[in-house]
């Protein structure tokens, strides 16, 4: 039905556009009528693009949950995801079961183990499990590949670009860290060598935009070519032509991603306006580029990266100049401009970031001020080093020269990210976005100079009122933020009771549970991201982890592991099957931890408490890895209530666990798999737990915890405690009494 509505909208929009053009209505429409017509035309064109893509997307969705064989062409650059896989987009030519392909052109996203040859333009064949995407995503299907093969390497200009980039990456990695892995990202947008830890630090410090090829990189290339051509005596027309040619080559080299194309088109139109003598139409050019790209690819409208790119560009054009003039009243012009540029970008991007991320960088402006001078040097010299690959001596020299600014940027990121309160955690969503937008507007109003508004008396009075109101809002927000920083920092443990021994951290849709006996601490899983886990550990005064248990390697259970690297003594983990899992364990080993695989029957002590592993069985052919091979831990004694942590076990493995272990009479049970419906009632009846912990996110697409699971635990007499409703949950024992502290009151 939605497709028919969209098609109808397309027809109506096109009809209106043809009518008004033939009748000359656009010229006669009053006020914003012409704009309305253009909006209708854009809606019609966008709707047409969506309708034409729907049949293939609907047919592809039928393969969700199946193991498929896909052949196609790589259409994007590849990058390492948080799960350790190499991710890229491809245009599928055939898709189906092995040996029985169906001709079905459709966009797909593929995740594989890291490897070479998966470059833009390469023809590939992959086999893996398929999963349908949401309607708002460009890729109609995500394929988690178990087999991958490059049928034909990239050829033509894309093949030549891939050879140059591979040679540059290899040459860069010969240099020491920090800086070696970051250099290809700065110069040509290849982030495959950037470590997960550095990537997190870049995001925390507000520097992640430097590794994403955008308008800044295109501007650097254009300015460099303009300057070199002018230095050689070339006129304005020649400068523009050479800059356009160089920009086109740069886009091919770094891979024509949507954000790169937008930036390149923006730069190209900017050069044309210079050639035509109208260099001041920046906002109009940005609007034209954005509208044009969205007409060609409507799914970019749901891309946070694209939204951030456009918002930052608009802020630099519209907001940075008046901010610089306002700041210049209290500081030198050069310093004011240097501060205004990153400040404008952060003010514009902050509300968008708050929609989908839980952290706001508080040191982004300072970090950008420190890193900004090195970015163009690393980009230009690194780009020249990449192009000089056929001349090894020159390429080595240029790569070494570009390593120094890259090392400076990497050091800036790691240093600033580790400053106290480098970022502020906010729950992602509309509420946080509105709050951040309000703060951004208030900061802008306070800093704008009076000369930037009309001098009419009514306007002056209104501006004074707005400034006073904005200042008052900033004072209130700053006071609340300062109190939050104190409670999360020096006073973090003030709000935590002393008698807790089991804690369920509120880390969203994932597990992170702490057991404490005396001064010894065990952490069971690390949640989906490091920031929420770090905040929870800090609030509880936990600095060192004596035992880290990684029940299995799903992202919602190990995504926050970087928060505790270097702070762990011993690690127990579930079965390992993929290279990304081995790399994660290697990071913990490098941090000084002892690493062992967990099997049923292992025992140990945590302070005065004892623990034992109940699952999985050693060498089990039934459940070799994944959810059903989750490590199940039991803790008891030493001030710890008798507790059972079930990982993500499904009903079948729960039944085997019940038959293999002596279970019953628990104070606390961590319900398996965030309270999914796949539970064995007999297990929970045997456990007879007094408290059931649900570690679950408030906004999850799975419906966790399921109502039938809640009813099941209630029927066994357990008290349900949920991190999505109560936030962080603490439990302790006082005599025979089980004490419970929650961060907030639960919902009935």
pTM of the model: 0.65
Number of helices and strands in the chain (H, E) = 25, 23
Q: What is the pLDDT of residue 747?
A: 46
Pick the CATH number of 62-154 from 3.40.50.20, 3.30.420.270, 3.30.2310.20, 2.40.50.140: 2.40.50.140
Longest CA–CA span in the chain (Å) reads 89
Q: What is the pLDDT of residue 516?
A: 93
Report whether 551 contacts 631 (CB < 8 A).
Answer: yes
Q: What is the pLDDT of residue 143?
A: 85
Q: What is the pLDDT of residue 263?
A: 67
Region of 277 please: left (phi>0), alpha (psi -120 to 50) or beta. Answer: left
Q: State how far the Cα of 243 lies from the Cα of 268, in Å rounded to an integer.
A: 9
Domain 62-154 shares a fold with domain 502-742: no
Q: Of 693, 730, 669, 736, whose CA–CA distance to 498 is shortest?
A: 730
3 state DSSP class of 568: strand
Report whether 572 contacts 522 (CB < 8 A).
Answer: no
Tokens (6 digits) for 740: 């419970």
The Cα-based distances of 717 to 294, 588, 667 in angstroms read 55, 40, 11
Alpha-carbon torsion, ordered 30, 36, 41, 43, to 10 deg: -170
In the numeric block, the tokens 């919602």 are attached to 556
Q: What is the pLDDT of residue 424?
A: 72
Report whether 68 contacts 143 (CB < 8 A).
Answer: yes
What residues in the chain have per-residue pLDDT under 70?
A: 1-35, 37-38, 53, 82-83, 98-101, 103-104, 135-136, 211-217, 257-259, 262-263, 266-282, 449-460, 484-485, 487-495, 620-624, 745-748
430, containing H or E segment: helix 430-447
Q: What is the pLDDT of residue 67?
A: 81
Q: State how far the Cα of 633 lies from the Cα of 631, in Å rounded to an integer.
A: 6
Residue 605 class from Cβ within 10 Å (0-12 exposed, 13-18 middle, 19+ buried)? middle
Q: Which residues pair with 522 in a beta bridge?
A: 515, 547
Report whether 343 contacts 326 (CB < 8 A).
Answer: no
Question: Hey, where are the domains in the chain?
Answer: 2-58, 62-154, 157-206+370-419, 233-300, 502-742
Q: What is the pLDDT of residue 605?
A: 92
Q: What is the pLDDT of residue 514?
A: 95
What is the separation of C-alpha 466 from the centre of its chain, rounded to a whole number of angstroms? 35
Report whether 13 contacts 40 (CB < 8 A).
Answer: yes
Q: What is the pLDDT of residue 634?
A: 93
3 state DSSP class of 610: strand
Q: State how far the Cα of 663 lies from the Cα of 657, in Å rounded to an integer.
A: 9
Q: Which residues pair with 103 in a beta bridge?
A: 94
When computed from its CA atoms, the radius of gyration of the chain, rounded to whole angstroms, is: 28
Q: State how far the Cα of 630 lies from the Cα of 595, in Å rounded to an integer.
A: 16
Q: What is the pLDDT of residue 215?
A: 61
Report whether 694 contacts 676 (CB < 8 A).
Answer: no
Q: In degrees, to the nearest 5, what angle opens at C-alpha 44 toward C-alphas 39 and 50?
A: 125
Q: What is the pLDDT of residue 632?
A: 93
Report whether 607 contacts 638 (CB < 8 A).
Answer: yes
Tokens (6 digits) for 233: 């005596």
Q: State how far the Cα of 350 lies from the Cα of 331, in Å rounded to an integer.
A: 25
* 729-734/737-742 β-pairing: antiparallel
Q: Of 376, 413, 383, 391, whose CA–CA distance to 172 is shortest?
A: 383
Question: For 439, how many CA atoms within 13 A lie in the half-sphere containing its CB?
Answer: 22
Q: What is the pLDDT of residue 455?
A: 60
**Span 502-742: which CATH code?**
3.60.15.10
């Amino acid at each position: 039905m939605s497709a028919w509505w969209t098609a109808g909208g397309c027809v109506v929009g096109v009809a209106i556009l043809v009518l008004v053009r033939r009748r000359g209505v656009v010229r006669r429409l009053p006020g914003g009528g012409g704009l309305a017509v253009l909006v209708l035309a854009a809606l019609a064109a966008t709707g047409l693009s969506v309708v034409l893509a729907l049949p293939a997307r609907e047919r592809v969705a039928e393969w969700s949950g199946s193991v498929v064989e896909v052949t196609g062409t790589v259409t994007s650059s590849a990058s390492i995801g948080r799960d350790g896989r190499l991710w890229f987009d491809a245009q599928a030519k055939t898709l189906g079961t092995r040996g029985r392909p169906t001709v079905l052109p459709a966009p797909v996203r593929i995740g594989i183990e890291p490897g070479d040859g998966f470059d833009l333009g390469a023809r590939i064949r992959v086999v893996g499990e398929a999963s349908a995407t949401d309607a708002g995503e460009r890729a109609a299907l995500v394929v988690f590949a178990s087999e991958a093969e490059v049928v034909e390497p990239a050829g033509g200009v894309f093949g030549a670009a891939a050879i140059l980039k591979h040679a540059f990456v290899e040459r860069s990695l010969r240099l020491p860290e920090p800086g070696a892995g970051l250099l290809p990202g700065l110069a040509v947008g290849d982030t495959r060598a950037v470590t997960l830890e550095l990537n997190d630090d870049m995001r925390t410090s507000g520097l992640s935009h430097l590794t994403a090829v955008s308008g800044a990189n295109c501007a650097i290339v254009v300015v460099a070519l303009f300057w070199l051509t002018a230095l050689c005596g070339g006129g304005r027309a020649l400068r523009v032509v050479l800059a356009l040619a160089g920009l086109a080559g740069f886009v091919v080299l770094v891979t024509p991603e949507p954000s790169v194309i937008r930036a390149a088109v923006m730069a190209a139109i900017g050069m044309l306006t210079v050639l035509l003598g109208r260099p001041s139409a920046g906002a109009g050019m940005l609007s034209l580029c954005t509208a044009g790209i969205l007409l060609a690819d409507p799914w970019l409208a749901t891309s946070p990266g694209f939204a951030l790119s456009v918002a930052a560009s608009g802020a630099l054009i519209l907001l940075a100049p008046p901010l610089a003039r306002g700041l210049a009243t209290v500081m030198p012009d050069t310093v004011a401009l240097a501060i205004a540029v990153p400040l404008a970008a952060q003010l514009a991007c902050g509300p968008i970031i708050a929609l989908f991320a839980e952290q706001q960088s508080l040191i982004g402006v300072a970090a950008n001020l420190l890193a900004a001078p090195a970015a163009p040097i690393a980009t230009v010299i690194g780009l020249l080093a990449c192009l000089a690959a056929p001349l090894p001596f020159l390429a080595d020299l240029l790569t070494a020269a570009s390593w120094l600014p890259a090392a400076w940027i990497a050091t800036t990121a790691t240093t600033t990210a580790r400053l106290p309160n480098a970022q502020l955690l906010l729950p992602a969503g509309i509420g946080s976005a509105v709050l951040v937008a309000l703060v951004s507007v208030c900061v802008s109003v306070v800093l704008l100079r009076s000369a930037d508004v009309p001098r009419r008396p009514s306007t002056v009075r209104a501006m004074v009122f707005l400034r006073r109101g904005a200042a008052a809002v900033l004072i209130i927000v700053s006071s609340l933020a300062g109190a939050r920083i104190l409670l999360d920092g020096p006073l973090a443990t003030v709000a935590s009771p002393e008698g807790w021994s089991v804690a369920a951290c509120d880390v969203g849709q994932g597990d992170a549970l702490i057991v404490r006996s005396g001064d010894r601490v065990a952490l069971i899983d690390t949640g989906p991201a490091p920031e929420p886990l770090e905040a929870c550990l800090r609030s509880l005064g936990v600095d060192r982890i004596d035992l880290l248990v990684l029940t299995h390697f799903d992202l919602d259970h190990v995504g926050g592991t970087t928060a505790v690297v270097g702070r762990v003594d011993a690690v127990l983990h579930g079965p390992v099957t993929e290279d990304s899992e081995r790399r994660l364990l290697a990071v913990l080993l490098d941090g000084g931890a002892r690493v062992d695989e967990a099997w049923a029957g292992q025992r140990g002590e945590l302070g005065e408490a004892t623990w034992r592993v109940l699952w999985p069985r050693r060498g089990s052919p039934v459940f070799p890895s994944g959810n059903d091979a989750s490590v199940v831990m039991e803790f008891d004694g030493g001030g710890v209530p008798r507790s059972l942590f079930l990982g993500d076990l499904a009903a079948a493995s729960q039944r085997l666990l019940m038959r293999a272990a002596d279970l019953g009479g628990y104070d606390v049970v961590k319900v398996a798999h965030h309270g999914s419906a796949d539970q064995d009632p007999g297990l929970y009846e045997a456990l007879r737990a007094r408290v059931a912990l649900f570690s679950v996110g408030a906004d999850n697409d799975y419906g966790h915890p399921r109502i039938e699971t809640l009813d099941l635990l209630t029927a066994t007499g357990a008290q349900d405690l949920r991190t999505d409703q109560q936030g962080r949950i603490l439990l302790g024992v006082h005599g025979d009494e089980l004490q419970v502290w929650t961060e907030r009151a639960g919902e009935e």
